[in-house]
Every structure is written in structure tokens, then in C-alpha cells.
Amino acid sequence: MPDPVLVPTTLVRPPSRTRQLTFVALGICLAALLASLAAVVINVTLASAVAPFAPTADEGHISEGSVVTLADDDVPAIARLDPALRDAMRRAEADAAAVGIAFQVTSGWRSEAYQRWLLADAIEQYGSEEVARQFVATPDRSRHVTGDAVDIVPLDAQLWLIENGSRHGICQTYANERWHFELATRPGGACPEMKADAAG
Ligand SMILES: [Zn+2]
């Protein structure tokens, strides 16, 4: 009679079962690898979703180094400004010219698409939407998208406008943007208190 203790076959897993488990484990590893590859592909696709849009002059872009003034009616960034702001800025510019100061416009009207691109770019630069919005307004809040703001250089023009712009109703409206001006009061009136930044 066989002694059952000498035949412990029930304690040994059949080899085919071990192989099955190995395949399952390999399958899980492969699935995890594919999932992480998919995540990389999705991230790259999302990142490049921002990149292909290149703002053009028709979107209101003024390329760095090009000299644009308030007289450039053929430039969309100037042509699509609110006429009241443009006229007030031109009167201010004529005043400033009397003391040898000239205005250059680095940004005026911008399309919604351009503003969205600027914000996406700022989020990438600052690594946070909250910080980015202190410098770039969302398209629905931007005064540039409605044609109600101009950014002016150089420094002497900015300082002149901060000091004298209100004679023509022109005011600096964000404390952190010395270059950004809007029609914000009546000619000769007092400028409203500035917002801290574009997010305010
Ligand atoms: Zn601005």
C-alpha cells in the first residue's frame, strides 16, 4: 500500500500553471509599458497643439524689431483699435512730440486666437496658469482683444503717458504693466485706481 506522505504531488504546481502565471505577468508588464508610451504620445500631441499657431499681422501680431506707430492704419493691430482710443493716443502723441518724445506701439488689437496663444505660451513659461494670468489676460477678459488697449515703448514715452496721458483720457491700468494704456477717464479727468495685474 502506498504511503500518501511519500507522494506529495498535490503540493507541486504543474509546470503548465507556472508558465501561465509567467505569461500573465509579462502581459501586465507589456500593458503598463504600452500605457506609458500612450501617455507620452498624448502629452507630445497636446504640447504641439499649442505650437503650430504662429500669430500673423492679421491676428494683430507686431513682430519684434518692426517699428509700428499709431499712424500705421494699414497694420491690423492699429486699424482695429477702438477709434476713440486711437484718436486720444494720437492727440497725446502730438503733445509728447513737442518735447521730443515719440511713441512706438508693440501691441494693439489682438485676435482671440492670438491672445489664447499668448496665454498658453505664458502658462508654459511660468508653469502655472495662476501666475501666467497675472501677465496675460484670458481672451474673454483681454482689453487688447476688444481693441481697447495699446502697449507703448520706449521708456520716456511710457513715463510721459503716465504723467500726462490723463489730459487725453489715457491711463495706465495695470500696476505691473508700465507700457499698457487704455482710455479710462474723460480728458482732463483723474485716472481710476490701477488694478494690480491683468488677473485683477
Ligand atoms: Zn497691454
E-strand ranges in the chain read 104-107, 150-153, 170-172, 180-183
Q: Which residues surround ligand 1, an ion (CB under 5 A)?
A: 149, 151, 180
pLDDT at 23: 66
pLDDT at 127: 96
Does residue 76 surpass a pLDDT of 80? Answer: yes
For residue 29, what pLDDT band results from cuts at 50, 70 and 90?
low
Q: If you measure from the C-alpha of residue 110 to the centroid of ligand 1, how many angstroms do you get, rounded to a whole number?
A: 10
pLDDT at 169: 98
Q: If you measure from the C-alpha of residue 48 to the centroid of ligand 1, how many angstroms do you get, rounded to a whole number?
A: 26
Q: If you measure from the C-alpha of residue 30 to the centroid of ligand 1, how many angstroms do you get, rounded to a whole number?
A: 51
Q: If you measure from the C-alpha of residue 118 to the centroid of ligand 1, how many angstroms do you get, rounded to a whole number?
A: 12
Q: If you measure from the C-alpha of residue 180 to the centroid of ligand 1, how many angstroms do you get, rounded to a whole number?
A: 4
CA distance 8 to 59: 81
Percent of the chain predicted with pLDDT > 90: 70
Give the model confidence (pLDDT) of 153-185 as tens digits.
Answer: 999 999 999 999 999 999 999 999 999 999 999
Q: If you measure from the C-alpha of residue 58 to the centroid of ligand 1, how many angstroms do you get, rounded to a whole number?
A: 18
b/e code 9-39 from CB counts within 10 Å (16+ = b): eeeeeeeeeeeeeeeeeeeeeeeeeeeeeee
Give the model confidence (pLDDT) of 34-60 as tens digits.
Answer: 677 666 555 555 555 555 788 999 999
pLDDT at 82: 98
Q: If you measure from the C-alpha of residue 195 to the centroid of ligand 1, how many angstroms do you get, rounded to a whole number?
A: 13
Residues 6+ apart with CB under 8 A from 122: 132, 133, 135, 136
Handedness of CA 150, 151, 157, 158 (dihedral sign): positive
pLDDT at 54: 86
Give the model confidence (pLDDT) of 88-140 as tens digits.
Answer: 999 999 999 999 999 999 999 999 999 999 999 999 999 999 999 999 999 99
User: What is the mean pLDDT of the segment spanning 15-33?
Assistant: 66
Q: If you measure from the C-alpha of residue 108 to the centroid of ligand 1, how many angstroms do you get, rounded to a whole number?
A: 7
